[in-house]
Amino acid sequence: MNIGEAAAKAGLPAKTIRYYEDIGLVKPGRDTNGYRAFVAADVHKLTFLAHARTLGFSIEDCRDLLALWEDTDRASADVRRIAQDHLARIEAKIVDLQNMRDTLKTLVRDCAGDDRPDCPILQSLGDPHKKTPA
């Protein structure tokens, strides 16, 4: 099948598929005319990659997961380690986002939002060393 058909089946834009090919995640065959010729296994890999990327796995994590998926002698502990590391990064991001939310809530609460020029939001942004209490 051509790239358009593979894209439709995998739920990915053709541009993304070309990128995955450029970085070596997928290696479709070529027809005699030089066009990419995707087979069912390629579409399965693309679907796998689409789902992994939706979960936020990095390209390198995807490369490792794909290699483990293709390795029938893999240890599930290796897969679990990658997922645990990714989960830890997500949880750290959540903490960072919660801290940002709390800081912004405080700044918004403390800003009168009136015609006066005083603005604790701008004051806080202008002083990178000042910690705003949440």
Convert the pLDDT of each residue in 20-48 to its tens digit: 999 999 999 999 998 999 999 999 999 99
- For the segment 1-21, the average pLDDT, to the nearest whole number, is 96
- The answer to whether residues 49 and 16 touch, using CB atoms and an 8 Å cutoff, is no
Distant-in-sequence, close-in-space partners of 30: CB < 8 Å, separation ≥ 6 = 36, 37
Q: Where are the domains of the chain?
A: 1-74, 89-134
pLDDT at residue 117, as a whole number: 85
Instruction: Name the pTM for this structure.
Output: 0.79
Q: Which CATH class is domain 1-74?
A: mainly alpha
